[in-house]
Structure 1
Amino acid sequence: MERICTSDRAGSQAAGLQGLGAQEASQQRQRFGRNDVVDASPHPWLTLLRETAKDPMLWFLVLAGGLYALLGQMSESITLFVSILPLVAMDAVLHRRTQASTEGLQSRMAESARVERDGAVVEVAAHELVPGDLVLVADGEFFPADGVVVKGEGLQIDESALTGEAYPVVRSPLEDLKKLGRPEFAVPDDHLGLAGTRLLTGEAQLRVVWTGDSTLYGEIVRLAQLGRFERTPLQLAIGRLVRVLVIAAVVLCAVLAVAELLRGAGWVDALVSAVTLAIAAIPEEFPVVFTMFLAVGVYRLAHRKALVRRAVSVENIGRISCICSDKTGTLTRGELQLTHWLPVDEAHPEGLQSAAALAARVESGDPLDVAIFEALRTVAENGNQASPPQEPRVLAAFPFTEDRRRETTVAVSEGMVHIAVKGAPETILGLCSQGGDERIAWAKRADNLAAEGHKVIACAAQSFPGSEWSGQEPSTGFDFVGLLGLEDPVREGAAEAVRRCQKAGIRVLMITGDHPDTAAAIARELGLGSPQGADAKADGHAPRVVVGQELADAGEEGLDGLIAKADVVARALPSQKLAIVRALQRQGEIVAVTGDGVNDVPALQAADVGIAMGERGTRSAREVAAIVLLDDNFRTIVHAIAEGRQLFRNLQRSFQYLLMVHAGLVLSATLIPLAGYPTLFLPIHIVWLELLIHPSAMLAFQDSSADGQLAGGVDRSRATFFSTREWGLIVFVGALLVVGVFLSYRAALGAELDVERARAMAMLVMSLASAGLVAGLTRLRTAAARWIVVGSVSLAALLIQLPWLAGRLHVEPLGPMDWALALLTVAVACAPISRLGGTTDA
């Protein structure tokens, strides 16, 4: 991760350890600007309002609600205007989150910094830093800008939130400071200190080189701001469907009005007929149902411990075909654990335990030391650790450096000096007196542990009388006591979740900043690269690992080919994660990205569904993600996808119902008057049918995925809501229903032109058809569906068969044969639904 350092950014004092003067700092600030990674909008609420107003669905609801108000249908008008509120809130939250996600990046930036100005150390606000400043960073503090480490010993940095690296990274000072003054000097990454990362050990002096949007943080912000939340395929499909239906409704209303006028009807009658048809034909149910189903999906996912921040993504999550998962903290626990003790004397492991305890620092905060003490605590609780006769008193400590690659502690107890050292295996073995064959054998064991994805630490010790210690760090005479194997363990249930995803046709691609060997070991444990997630070791399969540098060398064309075959991408940079997501989308994948760090922000935003970890995730990741996992459990993703798939099927069934019932209602109401018969439906009849249609569409199809199983395959379609076959069946059932209403109406009308009886027959067919469609599409799986079917039939019987009510509704009671004919008509019309329901269950 080399970065180019130009002489103007390094400052005039780059070759030494002096800071800038006040005048030079002022000149640098005028040239490079403030050290801010976020440019706040001058009018955030105006921007939010403007972005929210761009949603065409909102304007459709406003116009449709106004039309209902002009027609005097105030209940329908109020319903539409009320349904605007959740849509406005959804869009507002969406756009506000875009602002909050970039503002949240500032939270990991240092608020102040100690900087040398005019020869004195002063504390200034972090945004006042300029290229060339010399900053002092103490352990536990965040770096306030990107720069070059020019002084410090034993420096270890936590870069996990920025790079995804689980373990601390070691940084050392740049020895030849004159290089900073050379044109286009490429700074190696082992000398870099990056904004937003935290210094764990030591005290560093940093020559600031990049500030504000020139930092790596700033680059992430730019990527996040360039990304945009596109409308989901379902939103686009509903928008197209609504536009077509509105146009068709307007045309049919105009045709009916003209036909009524040509038949000799007055202007008032023609207008009433057209308005009545308009009330039935305007598809206001579709956006209302969509909004309600999303709300139900949000509620159900919350019970699955998945917090939905962007409601429209609920439908998209069910169509996921590829999950790009961060490793650290997502598939793994995100914490070091000491899992392997390999003592030289297996019968007496106390020597290794004592050496590890002495070499580790209690208050360091180093994750390695924390893991060692946690493991020692567990050993002590199990009664397997021998307590020393007296707590040793530390005399001296020699910290870890990149050159020495070891850490030594000298302590005294009962007149004896005890020295323990831990560090890189090859370094520690070189200090020990073991023979050549034994040394080779232990080096091989260390290599094997590293190949399995472990961080390997070797320990050695020696003891002698206190009078013999010279006060210097010994470099010989140590006895090798063993190896420590640490790992970031796989989360419980993650391997099973991966297996279920792969079995359901969902590809899992692990993207991490970790070392390829570590990533490959974790991938094997998860089952990546194996058929349906089986054990890779058992069946001979191995995960295919691609390194980030390979992606950089391949270019855009080669990138697609590498990603198509990869199971793991290691050493990935934030910009590469974004490029990977876009490459997968070009290949037709519906991509979900999981992550918890700042480095995941651009990819989380560009993905079809961004999923952040709620417990470990940074604020930036949570703000930009569409869904936040409250338990940080990869298994929750499987349940969320199952609920998303079920939601999509529920919406399909509800819209199929609406399309078929509206086809029967609107086309029969248009064709019967055009055929020369009296007007079919009066406004009161439309209200009657709407009392059936609205609750049926919104309540009957709320089936749930109770077991969270990922049934069915993957739908990679981005442009359609129904397949061609499904559209054909919808049209066919709708046509059968229109024919059934027409023939029933014509048969009941008779030669006597008994209009009220004919209307009663048509209303009965429509009521029974509504119940039949619900029963056929839901298979009566839910209690709501069963109640709605019973209620629809009961309401029809009540309104038609009670003379008092029938008279006020301008219908007349029907006989047993009429009911039998209506039931037969509906049975024929709804018969093909069994095939339609089968397609949506898949």
Structure 2
Amino acid sequence: MTQRRIPTDTLPGVDARTQGLSTQQAEAQHSACGWNDIVPQVTRSWWGIARDTASDPMLWFLALTAGLFGLLGQTTEALTLLLAMLPLLGMDAYLHLRTTASSAGLASRLASSAECLRDGQWQKMPARALVPGDLVRVQPGEYFPADGLLVQGSGLQVDESTLTGESLPMTKRALEGEGALPPSAAEAHWGTAGTRLLTGTAWLRVLWIGQDTRYGEIVRTATEGSHEATPLQKAIRELVVILLGVALIVCAVLALVRLWQGHGWMDALLSAVTLAVAAIPEEFPVVYTFFLGAGVFRLAKKHALVRRAVAVENIGRVSCILSDKTGTITAGALVLSQQMPAAGLDARGVLEVACRAARPDSGDPMDQALHQALGPAAPGEQRAAFPFTEARRRETAIWSNEAGALAAYVKGAPETILSLCVLSEGERGHWLDLVNQHAQSGRKLIGCAWKALPAGVAMAVEPDHGFQWAGLLAFEDPVRDGVREAIADCMAAGMRVIMVTGDHPATATAIARAIGLGGAHPQTLVLAPEDDPATRLHGHAGLDVVARATPAQKLALVQALQAAGELVAVTGDGVNDVPALRQADIGVAMGARGTRSAREVAPVVLLDDNFRTIVDAVAEGRQLFQNLRLAFAYLLLVHLPLVVGAAAIPLMGLPLVFLPLHIVWLELVIHPTAMMAFQDLPAHGPLAPVRRQRTARFFAPEAWLGMALVGGLASVAVVWSYLYALGADQNVEHARAMALAVLLVASAGITTGLTQLRRAAARWLVGGTLASLVTSMQVPALSRLLHLQPLHAPDWWLVAGVFVAALLLTLALALQLRRSQP
């Protein structure tokens, strides 16, 4: 069971169950720890949102164009363009609020006040005034105001869906015992900020407040990490600069051509500015940043806290995972798995012998497992103890029972204990065979024995012969739930998983076999202290396990795999893991048992220390990247016919195909579609096959060819529809209506094909696009305002054909995009 560390060194000296803080203690804690502000108290004014929105080039385009119309005395057109800024401002404000709504909405899951025991009196106070060490009382239906230990309460059930996504209530129980707090406690004893108590009344000893709570860390990593520039963001910015430069050159050429054709400076300027706005790909960096922020939140739901946004970019491309064994693949806790008593004893009998030899207050996990398995022990008094040492490989205790009879009890390495016992050679050989069999399965074994002592025996001398053999006890660190299935998913996707441990090779190989790593015969590399992993890897292409590895060798192993072209994720929990975590493409630190050094250097922190979570995060990151690729494909497919139409038709000497109001209309369709339709698309199936490529790119060459084909056909359709509708009578308004209709239904068909309408946002956006098209075209007042002419029945049949063609072509392109992961 996962243990969470208790910061006993930063708490005032208070009783673990019923004592609250004094005012003086609380003030001292507040000076040291600050306020319990889990969600930063940041207010955002509408003026600030409007100021950010003003950076949208579309608004400047509208203002400039309205000014030009005003100078020419065309007041109606100028006012119409200025009014068109309102829906753009509203859309930008809505999208901005939507990106920050997740952070702001988190505050609704937090307690605003708390019932706290101060100076011996229960009092109501603001939750932000709580400090570590406070004792608070939480009633049913209330949210926990901070992270802490449950020290009193019964029948406790908690809704943890806010943090874990688990819909079923989680059973909690109060920490047993009195006095000082232990160094760690299982998850069942913790109450966490943002989770809600369903049944019972809980007394919570506050241990973590503010940004140090799990809830606070999710908020902090999501809001801070989403603003960090990543390599792909920089590449996108460079692409935008290049496209902007090309667009300006083409715009200048178009303006000169229009002037040469005799259309006048107003027409030339409008042509150039319209083309510039159509060609500037400002949506690309906006969509990318939006997706990164959303990815941080979704990975947090998978128990993976992303501390730096670059991890969102890279985690979906991981091709190799170097995982610890203890605590990540296994539970990190010894469990008594089997009792093998000698003749004349039962399972409880051999367990009682072992518990007599074990220290009752020991922090040793094996001793704790023994006492937990036995339960209440028989009455008696320990008279002497001889602790375990590596030289003796055993520990012994002398006890007296209620009648005063003395006995010695010993446990330790089976070979050592057997040598102290009175056994025939046949019996000794039988037990040694059992020891060897269980050692091959990865279990830890101890032998147990006892011996009656005469009255008056010297307590200072440890008995060392004549013991009665009691039997063997086997312990194991059980494999975590879901790990075997996660390993199978990785292997099916072609992702390498290598378990790196300092453990004995037999133990490591047995665990690998239990989780299906390497099949029935895992390949294990046993390292000597002087070995270089890079050299030893040459003969182990299918390596599954590395045993006896030192921290320096783990670092060298990461470097060797990276040199071989792998994108490597590494797990670690200690200071000695920091070099490997720093070197890895994705360092993954353990949140429950990891050191602060490991958590600070790693861009990803696991809340539950579970290997299954790593694989879930890889799958989530991969789907996020796939959704981003679909959004970028949509932008490219829609912008290409928009730019071609805006440039080609004026260059032919024909009237402009798109007026400023039409660009506004298209912006209101393209921008929200790219931001919202693709953001939350689910995966089509299990983990996709891995592409081993260290350089990040969005599209493979065949995907570029597919997009060029679809975008090119859409461009031809826009230009042809304009020429077709223009006809011999040169009906410009009819031609513009036809070209706009073709472009809008192409956008709807492309969105439908790429998303397959698997989310409500995509369905609403496609429906809204088609509804706006029909309404604006066929309602005379609106069509006149937009300088368009209603379409005829044959026109609509052609438009419907374009929608079907765009849908079918894009469905094929979407399949190609899934198959050609970059």
1:181-580 → structure 2 map (5 Å cutoff): 234-235=232-233, 238-239=236-237, 241-345=239-343, 347-377=345-375, 388=378, 391-413=379-401, 414-469=403-458, 471-530=460-519, 536=520, 542-549=521-528, 552-554=530-532, 556=534, 558-561=535-538, 564-580=541-557
Greater CA drift, 724-733 or 266-275: 266-275
**Percent sequence identity over matched residues?**
52
Q: In the superposition, relative to structure 1, how do residues 275 and 506 fare at CA in structure 2: closer, same or farther (>3 Å)?
A: same
1:64 positional shift: 7.1
How many residues get paired? 622
Cα deviation for residue 426 of structure 1 reads 2.1
Mapped partners of 1:393, 1:80: distance in 2: 76
TM-score, normalisation: structure 2: 0.70
Among 766, 779, 786, the alignment partner of 2:756 is 779
* SS of residue paired to 1:473: coil
* Matched AA of 1:496: E
1: CA distance between counterparts of 2:492 and 2:438?
A: 31
In the alignment, is residue 713 of structure 1 matched against residue 701 of structure 2? no
Cα deviation digits, residues 452-480 of structure 1 (max 9, x gap) = 22222211210133134464111211112
CA contact (8 A) 1:726 1:839 kept: yes
Q: Is the CA contact 2:230–2:309 (under 8 Å) kept in the aligned structure 1?
A: no
Give the Cα–Cα distance (whole angstroms) in 2 for the partners of residues 700 and 332 of structure 1. Answer: 40
Corresponding residue for 1:72?
Answer: 63
- Matched residues in 2 for 1:77 and 1:604: separation? 44
Structure 1 CA distance, aligned partners of 2:244 and 2:653? 25
Consecutive unaligned residues of structure 2, counting only runs of 5 or more, are 1-51, 65-84, 101-183, 185-226
Encode CA deviations 1:581-629: one digit per residue, 9 max, x unaligned.
2322222223222333333333333333333333233333333333333
**In the TM superposition, what is the alpha-carbon distance from 1:660 to its structure 2 partner?**
0.8
Distance 1:349 1:742, change over 3 A: closer
Q: Which secondary structure state, in structure 2, belongs to the residue aligned with residue 364 of structure 1? A: coil
Q: Contact 1:336 / 1:371 at 8 angstroms: preserved in 2?
A: yes
Deviation readout 1:88-138 (Å, 9 max, x if unpaired): 9xxxxxxxxxxxxxxxxxxxxxxxxxxxxxxxxxxxxxxxxxxxxxxxxxx
Sort the Cα spacing of 1:464 and 1:362 in 2 relative to 1 into closer, same or farther, 3 A.
same
How many Å apart are 1:324 and its aligned residue? 1.3
**What amino acid is the match of 1:546?**
L
Deviations 1:630-667 (A, max 9, x none): 33332233333332232222112111111010000011
Q: CA–CA distance in 2 between the matches of 1:777 and 1:369?
A: 59
Shift of the alpha carbon at 1:281? 1.2
Contact persistence 1:703–1:781 (CA under 8 A): no
1-side partners of 2:754 and 2:459: how far apart? 87
For 2:724, the equivalent position in structure 1 comes to 747
TM-score (norm: length of structure 1): 0.69
- Counterpart of 2:672 (choices 662, 682, 695) is 695
The Cα of 1:436 is off from its aligned counterpart by 2.2
2: CA distance between counterparts of 1:230 and 1:481? 62
Name 1:621's counterpart in structure 2: 598
The one-letter code sitting in structure 1 at the alignment partner of 2:594 is: G
SS across alignment from 2:338: strand
Distance in 1 of aligned mates of 2:96 and 2:536: 43
Q: Is the 8 A contact 2:308 2:603 kept in 1?
A: yes
Of 719, 725, 733, the residue aligned with 1:756 is: 733
Partners of 1:67 and 1:590 lie apart in 2 by 40
Contact 1:548-1:572 at 8 Å conserved across structures: yes
The separation in 1 between residues aligned to 2:758 and 2:814, in whole angstroms, is 12
* Code of the aligned partner of 1:486: F
Post-superposition shift, 1:771? 0.7
Q: Secondary structure at the match of 1:460?
A: strand
Map 1:676-695; keep pairs closer than 5 Å. Answer: 676-695=653-672
1:793 aligned to which of 770, 781, 788 = 770
Looking at structure 1, the residues matched to 354 and 806 of structure 2 have their Cα atoms a distance apart, in angstroms, of 79
Deviations 1:702-739 (A, max 9, x none): 344379x5243112233321111110011111111111
Q: Could you report, residue by residue, the CA deviation over 1:749-768 in whole angstroms, capped at 9, with x for unpaired residues?
A: 12222222211111111111
Partner AA of 1:461 in structure 2: W
Which residue number in structure 1 is paired with residue 146 of structure 2? none
Kept in 1, the 8 Å contact 2:320–2:495? The answer is yes
Matches of 1:693 and 1:336, distance apart in 2: 57
Bigger relative CO (Cα 8 Å, ≥ 6 apart) = 1
Residues 302-323 of structure 1, C-alpha deviations (whole Å, 9 max, x = no match): 3333333333423433322222
- Secondary structure (helix, strand or coil) at the match of 1:794 reads helix
**1-structure distance, mates of 2:532, 2:551:** 17
Any idea what the Cα deviations from partners look like across 1:128-149, whole Å, max 9, x if unmatched? xxxxxxxxxxxxxxxxxxxxxx
Comparing 351-360 and 665-674, the one that deviates more? 351-360
Q: Is the 8 A contact 1:740 1:829 kept in 2?
A: no
SS in 1 for 2:581: helix
- CA offsets 1:806-841 (integer angstroms, 9 cap, x no match): 112111212112222233344445542232111234
Following the alignment from structure 1 to structure 2, what is the Cα–Cα distance between the partners of residues 340 and 585?
42
Residue 416 of structure 1 and its aligned partner are, at CA, apart by 1.6
Distance 1:742 1:325 in 2: 56
* Equivalent pair of 2:353/2:449 in contact (CA under 8 Å): yes
What is the Cα deviation at residue 237 of structure 1?
Answer: 5.3
Answer yes or no: is the 8 Å Cα contact 2:680–2:759 preserved in 1. Answer: yes
1:636 aligns with 2:624: no
